[in-house]
Amino acid sequence: MSDAMLTIEGVAKHFGEVSALSSIDLEISSGQVIGLVGGNGAGKTTLLRLMAGVMEPSSGDVLFRGKPVSSMRAKLGVVPESTGLYSRLTAWENIRYHSRMFGIDDTVAWNRTSHFAKRLDLSDSLSRHTKGFSRGMRQKTALLRALAHGPDILLLDEPTAGLDVTSARTVRTLVRQLRDEGGTVIYSTHHLAEAQQVCDRIIIVHNGTIRADGSPNDLLELTECSNLEDAYVALTSDKARARTEEPRSESKLARWWKVFLTGRTPDTVGGDDDE
């Protein structure tokens, strides 16, 4: 695709002797919701971290508009499964701090935050400290934080995990609205029904490789199945490996993941957050 925003060329990722990903080639264009679907240990979180630029590939390239994605982080909005909020700050203070890291004027950040907070029904809670927030409220705050600087691509890692039905539905509705407004969202999930509801394109990751890439209808036609669950089983019929996408030093990786989100140095990460 000539209009690709995000390009992944011949990417592999190894942790010691363990191969988490191998021979990954993808092109992501604007105006779509792209689902990364796979079970635990499939490699989708590793792939998402490579896309976010918080992890370097062992080989190959991850490019945003032709430049290394690690140098283009201001163009990305990231919501990891662990939201990494400062519990002693209000929701708005968390968002404002993150936006200032990207050089965004407070007024601009506030206008964008207010706009999306109305959609997420969080306007009345922006002045509250996040320590007392429910899981759903923390997830919504993390979404606002990721959107406040106007990213070109939004990366979501299991965005509805642990949410109640209403909160999960609100998140999915916002994702579809962003797509309709020309936004691009990469949506990692292991729920096929959710992927079918939200995603225009589904990339199935299994044992570190891409098994299929297309619209829900494309996957059904490819496997000659009547539903996505059967299609997924047909495409991933070989036994899933043990979870290997996170190395033994994952605690250090997790700390660096929070550095990207909060701007704290490695020595200070690990203090107050959303738990």
pLDDT in tens, 147-204: 999 999 999 998 888 788 988 999 999 999 999 999 999 999 888 888 988 999 999 9
- Residue 124: Cβ within 10 Å count: 8
What's the confidence (pLDDT) of residue 51? 94
Domain 6-262 has CATH 3.40.50.300: yes
pLDDT at 6 over 60: yes
Average pLDDT taken over every residue of the chain:
86
pLDDT at 132 over 60: yes
Query: What DSSP assignment string belongs to 147-195?
Result: HTT--SEEEEESTTTT--HHHHHHHHHHHHHHHHTT-EEEEEES-HHHH
Of 245, 180, 162, 258, residue with least CA distance to 209 = 245
Of 134, 133, 176, 138, residue with least CA distance to 154 = 176
Please write the tens of the pLDDT for every residue from 51-92. Answer: 999 899 999 999 999 899 988 888 999 998 788 899 999 999
- Looking at residue 153, its amino acid is I
* Reported pTM: 0.82
Please write the tens of the pLDDT for every residue from 88-119. Answer: 999 999 999 999 998 999 999 999 999 999 99
Q: Who has greater pLDDT, 41 or 49?
A: 49
- In angstroms, rounded to a whole number, what is the distance separating the alpha carbons of residues 182 and 32? 8
- Looking at residue 110, its amino acid is W
Run of H or E including 257 = helix 250-262
State whether residue 114 is helix, strand or coil.
Answer: helix
pLDDT band at 270 (very low <50, low <70, confident <90, very high): very low
User: Which residue do the tokens 């919701």 mark?
Assistant: 33
Residues ≥6 apart with Cβ < 8 Å to 248? 15
33-37 and 184-189 as β-strands: parallel, antiparallel, unpaired?
A: parallel
- In angstroms, rounded to a whole number, what is the distance separating the alpha carbons of residues 139 and 258? 15
For 171, list phi and psi in degrees, rounded to 5. -65, -45
- In angstroms, rounded to a whole number, what is the distance separating the alpha carbons of residues 51 and 37? 15
